[in-house]
A and B are shown apart, each in its own frame.
Chain A
Amino acid sequence: MSTLTTTAGPGTGRAPRRPRQGEGQRQSVAGWLFVTPALFVLGLFLLIPIVMALWVSFTDWNGRGSPFSSRVELVGADNYAALLTEPGLSRQDFMISLRNTFYYVVGVVPLQTVIALLLAVIVNQKFLRGRTFFRTAFYFPSVVSSVAISLVFLFLFTGTGAVNQFLALFGIDGPVWFSDPRGLIHLIGDWLGLWSVGRPPSALADTQVLSLSLWEWFSGPSVALTAIMAQVIWTTAGTFMLMFLAGLQDLPTEVEEAAMVDGANRWQRFRNVTVPHLRPTILLVVTLGVIGTWQVFDQMYVMTQGGPAKTTLTPAFLSYTAAFRQQQWGQGAAMAFLLFLLIFLLTSLQRFVLRDKDEAATRRARRRQQRATRRGARA
Chain B
Amino acid sequence: MTQTPTGDSIAPAARTRAAEDIAVTEATKPKVVDDGNLVNRSGRGKKILVYTLLVIFALIYIYPFIVQVVTSFKTNGDAVANPLALVPDPITTAAFERLAQTEYPRWFTNSVVVTLLVTAGRVFLVSLAGYALARLTFRGRNAVFTGILAVLAVPGVVLLIPRFLVLNYLGMYNTYPALFVPLLVDAAGVFIMKQFFESIPVSVEEAARIDGAGTFRTFWSVVLPMARPALITITILSFQGSWNELPHFIIAADDPDLFTLTRGVGQLTSGGLGSGNQFPISMAAALLMTIPTALVFVVFQRYFTQGANAGAEKG
Contact = CB atoms under 8 A, between A and B. Distances in A.
A30 B17 CA distance: 28
B78 interface: no
Interface string A144-187: 11111111111110101110011000000000000000000000
A6 B243 CA distance: 32
Contact of B83 (A15, A29, A162, A344): A162
Interface stretch (A83-91, A212-220, A245-253, A367-375): A245-253
Given A8-B19, A52-B166, A126-B35, A243 B309 contact: yes
B246 A301 contact: yes
A71 B294 CA distance: 51
Interface string B271-310: 0000001010011011101100110010001001100110
Contacts of B135: 15-16
Interface stretch (A92-100, A193-201, A281-289): A281-289
Contacts of A26: 215
Given A242-B308, A249-B32, A138 B161 contact: no
B90 interface: no
B94 interface: no
A283 B9 CA distance: 12
Contacts of A295: 1, 155-158
A31 B138 contact: yes
B270 A305 contact: yes
Contacts of A127: 34, 36, 47
A162 B279 CA distance: 13
Interface string B58-78: 101110110110010000000
Interface string B149-161: 0010111111111
A137 B33 CA distance: 25
Interface string A287-331: 111011011011101110100000000001001100110000100
B165 A246 contact: no
A41 B261 contact: no
B14 to A, nearest CB: 5
| Majority-rule SS of A interface residues | helix
A77 interface: no
B98 interface: no
Contacts of B201: 11-13
A34 B137 CA distance: 12
Interface string B238-259: 0010011011001100000000
B132 A141 contact: no
Q: Assign chain A's interface to a size class.
A: 35 or more
B120 to A, nearest CB: 13
Contact of B35 (A138, A256, A292): A256
B274 to A, nearest CB: 16
Contacts of B200: 12-13
A377 interface: no
B269 A253 contact: no
Interface in B1-55: 1-17, 19-21, 29-36, 38-39, 46-47, 50, 53-54
Contacts of A305: 270
Nearest to A155: B279
B228 interface: no
A278 interface: no
B99 interface: no
B102 to A, nearest CB: 15
B269 A152 contact: no
A202 to B, nearest CB: 38
Contact of A37 (B36, B185, B309): B185
Interface of B: 1-17, 19-21, 29-36, 38-39, 46-47, 50, 53-54, 57-58, 60-62, 64-65, 67-68, 71, 79-81, 83-84, 125-126, 128-129, 131-133, 135-141, 144, 147-148, 151, 153-166, 169, 181-182, 184-185, 187, 190, 195, 198-203, 205-206, 214-216, 219, 240, 243-244, 246-247, 250-251, 261-262, 265-266, 268-270, 277, 279, 282-283, 285-287, 289-290, 293-294, 297, 301, 304-305, 308-309, 312-313
The 7 A-B residue pairs with the shortest CB-CB distance in the complex, in nearest-first order: A31-B138, A49-B162, A34-B132, A38-B129, A31-B136, A45-B182, A53-B162
29 contacts: A2-B13, A4-B14, A8-B195, A16-B205, A29-B138, A32-B132, A45-B166, A50-B162, A53-B162, A140-B294, A141-B61, A147-B265, A147-B266, A150-B269, A151-B269, A151-B286, A153-B64, A156-B64, A156-B67, A158-B83, A234-B61, A238-B61, A242-B305, A249-B29, A280-B11, A301-B250, A333-B162, A339-B157, A343-B155
